[in-house]
Amino acid sequence: MSEDQTIEAPEVEETEDAYSLGRKAVAQILYAVDLEDRDQLVELMDPLHPADIADLLEQINAFDRMRLIKLYDKEFDGDILSELDESIREEVIGILSPEVLAEAVRELDSDDVVDLLEDLEEQQQEAILDVLEDSDRVAVQQSLTYPEYSAGRLMQREVVMAPEHWNVGEAIDYLRNTDDLPEQFYHIVLVDPRLRPVGNVTLGKLMASRREVLLKSLVEDTFHVIPVLQYEGDVAYAFNQYHLISAPVVDENERLVGVITIDDAMAVLDEEHEEDVLRLAGVDSESSLSDRVAETTKRRFPWLFVNLITAVLASLVIAQFEAAIAQVVALAVLMPIVASMGGNAGTQSLTVAVRALATKDLTGSNVWRVIRREVLVGLINGLAFAVIMGIVGYVWFGSTALGGVIAAAMVINLVVAGLAGTGIPIVLEKLGIDPALASGAFVTTVTDVVGFFAFLGLAVVVLL
Amino acid sequence: MSEDQTIEAPEVEETEDAYSLGRKAVAQILYAVDLEDRDQLVELMDPLHPADIADLLEQINAFDRMRLIKLYDKEFDGDILSELDESIREEVIGILSPEVLAEAVRELDSDDVVDLLEDLEEQQQEAILDVLEDSDRVAVQQSLTYPEYSAGRLMQREVVMAPEHWNVGEAIDYLRNTDDLPEQFYHIVLVDPRLRPVGNVTLGKLMASRREVLLKSLVEDTFHVIPVLQYEGDVAYAFNQYHLISAPVVDENERLVGVITIDDAMAVLDEEHEEDVLRLAGVDSESSLSDRVAETTKRRFPWLFVNLITAVLASLVIAQFEAAIAQVVALAVLMPIVASMGGNAGTQSLTVAVRALATKDLTGSNVWRVIRREVLVGLINGLAFAVIMGIVGYVWFGSTALGGVIAAAMVINLVVAGLAGTGIPIVLEKLGIDPALASGAFVTTVTDVVGFFAFLGLAVVVLL
């Protein structure tokens, strides 16, 4: 984005530590734990939001965590459990006494309990289900019948709805006479006699309108209904694309079964992004900063193993040219440059393509134009770096032919990088494989193999 | 997350094309443009959300875009402009006739106009400011006095507020008698006599409470106030961390100046993520799929140039060992494997560290534990791959010494990769440099240089 030269403006405050717990605050809390000073601990923790307490627990080590939780005891809030990273949630639940756990879980909304339960082992699941009240347990168990990562798991079952023929006055009277309205709601969902949602009315509009106005005349322009089995990533996309605040969820008969609100969609969007970033780097998307060494090692190994195979593959290409390298050792010096440039250019194209696929910006209607663009970009940058490396090769080793060989190999590899970086994720997506997960290894294999083969092959033809 | 073995569930529907415009729909629209059939075009476009129309315009080529917009003419909605990618927004504004542009912009909320204006050139900015009504123009110009990427740019200026001493009845009467309530609002902000916000009351709570209840007794547990100069990324973090729906914005005197809603925060979160992913891959974070070849080439070049320098640096290391390579050509065959494994392991550590810094999960209190973990993971995986490559090296070239050399180099480089992958982004963050932007080049330089040096150096000592 361009700066606004027209306007003199104060500086934006990029406060690095705006929300992170200070090192000092953490030290004070751990000191209270050391002294087993419960009053002091409770006083220090009291102003913290459950999300910040969860972050704190994730950042300290397992021993401190155990001591802190035991000392904090009955103050432990259910929301802390909801906010905790999955990787240490089981550990924390194991530390809590049964009474504290029961109390903590009973405070939670049913959709938060679902979120908590789905990652636990069966035994812990049952322990938690047992402490719930009957009505809550039924709600939680019904939610668990929907598949993981579905809209059904995300939704709240408490919906505020009204018949489509009501007017404002009827709706307001209904709301004011209903005892058990949900904690948070933003819309009244209008439904037809068969309980199919037909529109949303915001509470603000309701407030601002006269009693005799029909609800039907107040519905929002953008109305989006979500199928209960829809993938949560698509739900998050819809919220972001259409600026939804809440959206009704319907079953296969198009009947209203629940509502999803934007805060849950935002959390999903955040997770999806996180997964994409990590997968692109070959890190298991379920790993977390709180994982231990053994866990992390196991999670990182497979990708490194895949990379080893591709690296060996590239070495096999080099091995075909041993004789040439023995004659002209400069080839060994220069060959990694061609491979490395191809790998980087390929990763650039790849990342753009993977993101565009994820945001549904890369579709049937522009796929060929995007591929053509990436290949052309590879060609032009290839020519630029060909000139640079041609000169470097000539100056360094005093051989025009060597300069020419590396220049030609550079052009070839950068064009191939553009093609592979775009084509491979598109093909994987067509095959139903997550392109973020697998493309990286394929693309660098291609650019390594092509890079070494083009450079060394041309060298054999031209130099020997 | 683990599967729930206990529950039989239907399959989640991961509908790839749930929200992307079908190829067929695009073809129909372009066919109508070809025939210059305006009625048909309007009929086809009518059911589309402005966000989808913006996506469509981004996906077709510039010529079709121009013809479509000219044919669509007066139907062109202001919201389409808001949703358009910046890279083609100027182009589209240039195509619209002055009357259509004026009409489109007048429909927009003032915060959307600000969003539109900030990326335009001065001339286009003035053209748009000119068509606004006086009151809107003042509001837009005031917003533009806040720096880019600040909370001030993000906020709406229309706030629904009430004195802290009011009761529910007074608030409801006020709302029902106010003509110009904002289109979307979710809270009433309570303010003290000096206009400092003291709490939020949701409209739902207001609806559900008796008239004589004091607003003060209904305020939300989580209340978060945002300084007007705060960086928008921190604003998005706060919304996500504390599950906010809307939050009041205050000036340096803590007086209420506006309100930010979650949909805007969600859009910022989305952009921030996008930037992180692209930067990690060395792609300019402001590039877009609609950029042309020349633009894209220019944006990709600098990172490739940085990479060329690091690659040449690595080559200089190799050049020190030309004599050794000439004697044992197998070294040239095997050396890229060590460098490549280090690069990949380093990228894994790096990505985890960069993400953890962005989400404020990596802080002063756990930095040493995380670094130690990454180094240990590097050591263990290094040992595993040392065994594998030691055997491969021995089998391939029949030399125990060569197998031992590559094994030792592997361990060294993977330990260094863990250290560099974690340490470099942490140091950059401390220096105030975006770690996503610069770490990649540093880390692979380190792993390339160390990889080649360790392998070839050990080879000289052991083999020659």
Q: What is the pLDDT of residue B90?
A: 85
CB contact under 8 Å between A345 and B145, yes or no, is no
- pLDDT tens-digit profile of B382-429? 999 999 999 999 999 999 999 999 999 999 999 999 999 999 999 999
Which residues in chain B are contacts of A241 at CB distance < 8 A?
Answer: 19, 49, 51-52
Mean pLDDT, range A12-27, rounded to an integer:
68
- Given a cut of 90, whether residue B140 has pLDDT beyond it is no
Identify the band that residue A1 occupies on the pLDDT scale cut at 50, 70 and 90.
Answer: very low
Average pLDDT over residues B426-435: 91
Q: What are the chain A neighbours of B345 within 8 Å (beta carbons)?
A: 300, 304
What digits encode the pLDDT tens for the residues A200-254? Answer: 999 989 988 889 999 999 999 889 999 999 999 999 999 999 989 999 999 999 9
**Which residues sit opposite B191 in a β-bridge?**
B163, B197
Round the average pLDDT of chain A to a whole number and report it.
89
Which of A251, A286, A300, A375 to mutate against chain B (most B CBs within 10 Å)?
A: A300
- Indicate if the pLDDT at residue B253 is higher than 80: yes
A117 to A113, A127, A257, B308: CA distances (angstroms): 6, 10, 21, 50
pLDDT at A4: 41
The larger pLDDT score, comparing residue A132 to residue A32, is at: A32
Q: CB A23 to CB B365 under 8 A?
A: yes
Cβ contact, residue pair A363, B13, below 8 Å: no
B-chain residue closest to A5, CA distance: B122
Residues of chain A positioned with their CB less than 8 A from the CB of B51: 241-243
d(CA A99, CA A101): 5
Residue A50 token pair: 């459950």
Tell me what pLDDT residue B273 has. 87
At position B343, the amino acid (one-letter code) is G
**Dihedral angle over CA of B414, B418, B419, B421, nearest 10:** 120
Which residue among B234, B243, B311 places its CB closest to the CB of A340? B311
The tokens describing B450, both together, are: 């160390």
Tell me the per-residue pLDDT of A261-271, one tens digit each, with 9 for 90 and over: 998 899 899 88
Answer yes or no: is pLDDT of B119 > 50: yes
**Mean pLDDT value across residues A392-411:** 95
Taking a C-beta distance cutoff of 8 angstroms, is the pair A61, A42 a contact? Answer: no
pLDDT score, position B239:
93
Residues of chain B in contact with residue A336, where contact means CB-CB under 8 angstroms, are 311, 314-315, 318, 335-336, 339, 448, 452
Residue B210 DSSP class: -
φ, ψ of residue A150 in degrees (nearest 5): -105, 160
Asked whether A377 and B297 are in contact (CB, 8 A), the reply is yes
Tell me how close the Cα of A153 comes to any Cα of chain B, in angstroms: 10
Q: Which residues of A touch B388 (CB under 8 A)?
A: 308
Q: Of B417, B398, B391, B399, give the one whose Cα is nearest residue B462.
A: B399
Residues A337 and A439 sit within 8 Å (Cβ to Cβ): no
ipTM score for this prediction: 0.85
Mean pLDDT, range B256-277, rounded to an integer = 90
pLDDT at B10: 59
Write the pLDDT tens digit of every residue in A325-356: 999 999 999 999 999 999 999 999 999 999 88
Interface test with A, best of B21, B377, B443 (most A CBs within 10 A): B377
What are the chain A neighbours of B20 within 8 Å (beta carbons)?
360, 363
Q: What is the pLDDT of residue A20?
A: 63
Instruction: Say if the Cβ atoms of B60 and A365 lie within 8 Å.
Output: yes
Q: Which residues pair with A202 in a beta bridge?
A: A187
- Rounded to the nearest angstrom, the minimum Cα separation between A194 and chain B is 24
Question: Of A178, A200, A305, A352, which to mutate for an interface test with B (greatest number of B Cβ within 10 Å)?
Answer: A352
State the average pLDDT over residues B203-214.
90
More confident of the two residues B198 and A136: B198
Confidence of residue A10 (pLDDT cuts 50, 70, 90): low
Q: What are the pLDDT digits (tens) for A287-326?
A: 778 788 998 999 999 999 999 999 999 999 999 999 999 9
Q: Give the E-state strand segments of B43-143 in sequence order.
A: none
Per residue in B219-236, pLDDT tens? 998 899 999 999 999 999
| A226 phi, psi to nearest 5 deg | -110, 125
Q: How far does the CA of residue A240 sit from the closest CA of chain B (Å)?
A: 7
- Give the mean pLDDT of A24-29: 88
Assess contact for B283 and B303: CB atoms under 8 A.
Answer: yes
Binary contact (A344, B304; C-beta < 8 A): yes
Most B CBs within 10 A among A1, A4, A12, hence the mutation to make, goes to: A12
**pLDDT over threshold 50, residue B121:** yes
What are the chain B neighbours of A125 within 8 Å (beta carbons)? 6
A-B C-beta contacts closer than 8 Å:
446
| Backbone angles phi and psi of A14, in degrees to 5 | -95, 75
Average pLDDT score over chain B: 89
B192: left (phi > 0), else alpha (psi -120 to 50), else beta? beta
* pLDDT greater than 90 at residue A406: yes
- Give the pLDDT confidence score for residue A13 in this predicted structure: 65
Nearest CA in chain A to B297: A377
B12 vs A contacts (CB less than 8 Å)? 147-150, 229-232
Contact list, A229 vs chain B (CB under 8 Å): 10-13
Residues contacting residue B179 through CB under 8 Å, at least 6 positions apart: none
Whether the per-residue pLDDT at B172 is higher than 80: the answer is yes
Say which of B14, B204, B373 has its CB closest to residue A181.
B204
Write the burial class of residue B180 (CB in 10 Å: 0-12 exposed, 13-18 middle, 19+ buried): exposed
Rounded mean pLDDT, B300-319: 93
Pairing, β B226-227 against β B197-202: unpaired
Q: Say how far apart CA B178 and CA B315 lie, in whole Å.
A: 73
Lateral strand order in the sheet of A161-163: A161-163, A187-191, A197-202
Contact between B52 and B80 (Cβ < 8 Å): no
Q: How confident is the model at residue A16 (pLDDT cuts 50, 70, 90)?
A: very low
Question: In the predicted model, what is the mean pLDDT of residues B246-254?
Answer: 95
Residue A373 to residue B315, Cβ atoms within 8 A: no
Which residue in B20, B336, B374 is closest to A315 by CB distance?
B336
Judged by DSSP in three states, B104 sits in helix
Gyration radius (Cα) of chain B, Å: 29
CA distances from B288 to A2, B120, B284, B439 (A): 15, 16, 9, 22
Minimal C-alpha gap between B47 and chain A (Å): 11
> Most A CBs within 10 Å: which of B243, B350, B376, as the mutation test of the A interface?
B243
Give me the helices (H) in A96-230, please: 98-106, 110-117, 122-131, 134-144, 151-154, 168-177, 203-208
Q: Is the pLDDT of residue A90 over 90?
A: no
d(CA B344, CA B271): 26
Domains of chain A in sequence order: 23-145 (1.25.60.10), 161-280 (3.10.580.10), 293-463 (1.10.357.20)
Contact A204 B227 (CB under 8 A): no
Query: In what side-by-side order are the strands of the sheet with A256-261?
Result: A226-227, A246-250, A256-261
Q: Buried b / exposed e across B19-46, counting CB within 10 Å, b at 16+?
A: bbbeeebbeebbebbeeeeeebbeebbe
Amino acid at B383: L
Give me the mean pLDDT over the B30-46 stretch. 93
Residue A345, classified by CB atoms within 10 Å of its CB into exposed (0-12), middle (13-18) or buried (19+), is buried
pLDDT digits (tens, 9 = 90+) for B267-305: 899 888 888 888 888 888 777 787 889 989 999 999 999
| Residue A391 reports pLDDT greater than 60 | yes
Say which residue the tokens 């439904």 belong to: A191
A329 CA: distance to closest CA in chain B (Å): 6
Q: Give the pLDDT confidence score for residue B115 in this predicted structure.
A: 83
- Nearest residue of A to residue B243 by CA position? A263
Is-contact B393 B418, C-beta < 8 A?
Answer: no
Q: For residue A6, is pLDDT > 70? A: no
